[in-house]
Amino acid sequence: MVHLQSFNEKLRGMLPIKQAEKEYYKQFSVFLSRYEETKNKKSGKIGELAHISLISGEGQDNLKAKLEAINSQFVNPFIYISNWIKQEQYTLEALMSCIAYMQSLESRKAKTIRDIKDIEDDI
């Protein structure tokens, strides 16, 4: 149980980092698009490499489309791991509670029998 708790604490530090990574893909795509637009405006598409566009272009093969696809398809895997750990912790807590209850049954049964005998003696 202690190991699961310590592992969960470490995961809590990783969750926001992975969420930020998704945002960074989006910001990087926007940055590159603005860079290419600025480059094209300044150069006026003059020069031997002016026809090359790394970010934008036709079809889904351009870098911008790929970065946007990564951003939309990205799922933080640490969320699933964190939820699994929580589930395991709840399961272990329930199991420990059941074991404690089962261990207390004998003493509760003996106390109830004593109470019944005391009541019968009083009657």
Query: Which pair of structure tokens corresponds to residue 33?
Result: 């698009």
Given a cut of 90, is residue 94 above it in pLDDT?
yes
Given a cut of 70, is residue 59 above it in pLDDT?
no
pTM greater than 0.85 (yes/no): no
pLDDT value of position 38: 82
Q: How far apart are CA 93 and CA 66, in angstroms?
A: 45
Q: Are 100 and 16 in contact (CB under 8 A)?
A: no
Q: Which of 49-53, 87-91, 99-103 has the lowest mean pLDDT?
A: 49-53
Q: Are 67 and 29 in contact (CB under 8 A)?
A: yes
Domain total of the chain: 1
Residue ranges with strand state E in 21-99: none
Determine the structural domain holding residue 100 and report its residue range.
Answer: 2-122
